[in-house]
Structures are given as C-alpha cells and as structure tokens.
Amino acid sequence: MISFSNLNSLSLTTIIFSAFVSTGVARAGVGVDPLTEVLDSTGSAGLGLLAQAAPSPYKDGGVRFDLLPLYLYEGKTLFLRANRGGLKLFSDNAQRLDLFLEQRLEGFPVDRLPSSLVGMANRDSGIDLGLSYRNTQPWGTVHAEFLHDAGNTSKGNEARLGYSYQWRSGLWSLRPSLTFAMRDAKLNNYYYGVRPNEARTGRLSYMPGAGVNTTLGLYGAYDLTQRWQLLGGVSVTSFSQGIKASPIVEKGVIPALYFGAAYNFGVQQRGWAQDESPTYFKALYGKATEDGCHLIKILTARCFATNTANPTSIAGIQIGKTFIQELNGWPLDFVGYVGLTDHSDRGLQSNGLQLDLFMKAYYSGFAWSQKIKTRLGLGVGLSAAQRVPYAEIESGKTGSRLLNYLDPTLDVSLGDLIGSRALKNTFIGVGVSHRSGIFGTSSLLGNVNGGSNYIYTYLETAL
C-alpha cells in the first residue's frame, strides 16, 4: 500500500516542481512561454515537443541543441505549460492574474562543461515563484511578472515587462514580442559571476551586478489539422552590460531558433468530454525489470525478466477522467490521469513517492471486443519523483527526479470474462510504468540517458 508517511511538509504540487531543481541547463534565460500558449483558456490539454538551437552564453560552450517536452493543460483554475505551472487567481476575456512556479532555464551545462567553467562551482537551474498579470486588448497584450527564487539557488529576483501582438490569417498565427527583464545583482552574480576562489589566469574575479536583459521574438503556429499545430519562432536576447563584461561570457547577444509541434486534445471543447463521462480508479503493483530489459523488448514480448539481484517494487493508485469519447466516431478514447506511486526500494535507499500526470489513449476496436472488451492503451506525460528511484541510479547511473512518463497497457473487461454485467466496466490488465530522459537530449529532464521500467498488474474500474 502507498505510505503517505513518506511525504514531508511540502505538498504534492511542490514535489513535481522541486524535481526541476535537479536539472542543469545552458540556456540564455529566454522564455518559451509564447510558444506554449496554444490551448483554449479552459478545458484543454495537449502534448508536444519543442526543439531549440542557440549558442551557449558561456565561452567555448558552442551551439546547444535541446528538446523541451510540452506538457500542456488549461483548466478553470490550474494550468501547466512546459516549464511553468500554477493557479489562475483571476481570468476573463481581457485580464488574467496567475500565481505560478517556473523552472529557470539557466545554468551551467551538465553534459559537456566548457573549459571556461572548469574549476567553478556548478550553477544549478532553480525554481522561481512568480506572480503574472496580463491584459489583452485589440491593440495587443501587455504583461508584467515578478519572480523570486523559491529554491534558494541564486536567491535572486527578476521583474519582466513585455508587449506582444497576436496576428492571425487563416491557418497561420504570428506573435511578435518584446520583453524587458530587470534582474537583481544576486541573480546575475550567481549565473554569470566569478567568485574570488574561482579566479585563475584569464578568469578574474568578477560580479556583473544588476541589469536589464532585452528579448525580441517572433513566434508562430500553423494549424495542420483541427488538433495538430506546428510551432516555430526566433528570438534575440541582449544581455545587460554587466553580463556582457563577464570573463566567462562569450556572447552578449544570443539568437535562438525554435521549432516543434503540439497536439491539442480539447479543441473547441469546454470542460471534460461530458459531465457523465466515466471516472476511472486504478490500483497497481509492479516490479522493476532487470538491466537491459528495456521498453521495446517488453512491448515485443522478448523480455519480462524482473530484477532479482536488487529487487524493487511499486504500488500505486491512478485516477482518470475521460477527456474525449470515441474520437471522430472511432473506438478511441482519451483519458487524463493523475497517479501517485510508492517506491519500495527494499533498504537499498529510502523509499519515495512518484507523481505522474499524463494523457492516455485507449483503442478498443478489436473484432472480439463485442464479446470480451479489450483495450490497448498508451499514456504519455510527466513523472516527478520525491527522490530518484534506486532502479534509475543502480550501477552509478545519473538520475533525474523529473522525467518523461510512458504507460502502455493491455486489459480486458472482468465482467465480460466472468459473465457479470455489474463488472463490465471493471478491467484487469498488465502494463509498464516507464520513466525516461529521452536519450539524454532534454535539459528539462536533466540530460538523463536512461530511466526505469516496472512491469505491473492492475485492477481498474469506471464509475
């Protein structure tokens, strides 16, 4: 059973965002918010992927390529957009006030440290607590934000003031944007300063102090279909004079190129599919697979071996709400899930909780489904662990608390099997709880090349 005694005074919401702290990035602090605002204001969810190419601001850092998974949700009071999530304190057609947590996309690269930073203490990505106000009028949108380092990483603050204009023609939409970011000395000194004990020949002790960064961007989207959108954009960020003069900074002006795609599950819908649509409750138990028994082997029935040398297990619950029923008349449903899993690491390390947020597609159009309903499911989303599971750091592997989440499953109706109409919407099945760093290509996920697989059995019922 799940042991909630593993939770400290932080809430589950804090767990998912505190997991961001373990990642390391090498960006110029350019926000991706304009590219992730592709959903309806309420009742929408989406998934996508955004690629970025930009030169590192640090000397000898080269050009950086990064993948940013887009986990998108817009509800009446909650929202999630890539590296930002929070509460809507007020929202109408013109104005919006948000309280949010955001991963700061700055820091030293963890996968390939340039020579200019050798011998310096690592500068980590941090978590900011922020307040955002936005006012949209026919002549454009003005926005103001204040961010404070909530994770005690840089202990710095930043105020942003910006303007954007949404232009749309047919399937195209474009958004030019101008943002001024006023950063205090603590923030700039942490990411671009050189401490006295880090000084050496060619790298003098230096503190850039407070300053203003300016970002000019052009972001766009193209509607491939009612639900698929192509995303793209370019931006240029000019650092303050203090940052430009830093001995570890090579470029004072950082261009960036973005391109990607997103799928919107809730276009032209308000709320869930229907008020009477089923809510799912699922209980699961599983064991970690042995090293080398990866997801592809499991899905192709070439490996089901669990780890017997250092056995670890999971037990969890998931609650899901149907988002779309019978998409376009097909036997295809989409369900949004939140899951809480307890890792039993059997004394190898302290146990920990895992919070999963994901969207799942179910296909039930098999020839025999009229007699025994069979569902093939695939969930995709985000997984945040209270601590990195032992299965992911065994043998000295690098881990990250925040990873991509996949949940492939196969189940059948228990009621159809035993001839009970009362249990027709109760399912028994098998699945794989899969956490992955997308082959080390995503700084948001800690540049982790690996993850974990737990083969599990489950019982799920719809109410």
- Domains in the chain (CATH in brackets) are 8-264 (2.40.160.40), 279-462 (2.40.160.20)
Between 454 and 53, the more confident residue is 454
Q: Write down the pLDDT at residue 210.
A: 97
The pLDDT of residue 104 is 85
pLDDT at site 32: 59
Radius of gyration of the chain (CA): 23
Q: What is the DSSP string of 53-68?
A: EEE-SBTT--EEEEEE
**What DSSP state is assigned to residue 93?**
S
Q: What is the pLDDT of residue 192?
A: 97
C-alpha to C-alpha distance for 173 and 389, rounded to whole angstroms: 42
Residue 162's nearest CA partner among 137, 181, 179 is 179
> What is the pLDDT at residue 393?
87
pLDDT band per the 50, 70, 90 thresholds, residue 282: very high
| 66 band by pLDDT with thresholds 50, 70 and 90 | confident
User: How many CA atoms lie less than 13 Å away from 46 in the CB half-sphere?
Assistant: 30
Q: What is the mean pLDDT of residues 29-45?
A: 62
| pLDDT for position 4 | 38
Mean predicted confidence (pLDDT) in 97-109: 87
* CB neighbourhood size of 276 (10 A): 7
pLDDT value at position 2? 44
Mean model confidence pLDDT for the chain? 85
Q: Two tokens at 291?
A: 């090293």
The reported pLDDT for the residue numbered 461 is 97
CA distance 234 to 222: 15
Q: What is the pLDDT of residue 84?
A: 84
Q: Please give the share of the chain, as a percent, with pLDDT higher than 90.
A: 56
The pLDDT tens digits for 138-180 are 999 999 999 999 988 999 999 999 999 999 999 999 999 999 9
**How confident is the model at residue 41, as a pLDDT?**
57
User: What does 218-268 look like in DSSP terms, one character per residue?
Assistant: EEEEEESSSSEEEEEEEEEEE--HHHHT-TTB--SEEEEEEEEEEEETTTT
Q: Per-residue pLDDT tens for 299-329?
A: 999 999 999 999 999 999 999 988 888 888 8
Q: What is the mean pLDDT of residues 444-448?
A: 61
Of 423, 451, 425, 456, nearest to 438 (Cα)? 451
pLDDT band, very low/low/confident/very high, at 58 (cuts 50, 70, 90): very high
Among 5-14, 196-205, 417-426, the least confident range: 5-14
- pLDDT band for position 103 (50/70/90)? confident
| Cα–Cα distance for residue pair 349/343, rounded to 1 Å | 10
Both tokens of 274, joined, read 């229907």
- From the number of C-beta atoms within 10 Å of its C-beta (0-12, 13-18, 19+), residue 210 rates as middle
Percent helix, percent strand, percent coil in the chain, to nearest 5:
15, 50, 40
Is residue 385 over pLDDT 50? yes
Q: Choose between 193 and 271: higher pLDDT.
A: 193
Contact indicator for 281, 319 with CB cutoff of 8 Å: yes
pLDDT value at 20 more than 60:
no
pLDDT in tens, 351-383: 999 999 898 999 999 999 999 999 999 999 888
pLDDT score, position 403: 84
Residue found by looking up tokens 């840089």 in the block? 154
Judged against a pLDDT cut of 90, whether residue 404 lies above it is answered with no
5 pLDDT above the threshold of 80? no
Confidence check: pLDDT of 440 > 90: no
Residue 12 has pLDDT above 60, yes or no: no
Q: What is the pLDDT of residue 28?
A: 46
Can you point out the beta strands (E) in 27-166?
A: 44-55, 63-74, 78-81, 84-91, 95-103, 127-137, 140-149, 157-164
Q: Of 16-30, 79-93, 157-171, 405-419, which gets the smallest average pLDDT?
A: 16-30
For 62, the token pair is 């080269």
Confidence of residue 125 (pLDDT cuts 50, 70, 90): confident
Percentage of the chain modeled with pLDDT above 70: 84
| pLDDT one-digit tens code per residue, 209-249 | 999 999 999 999 999 988 889 999 999 999 999 999 999 99
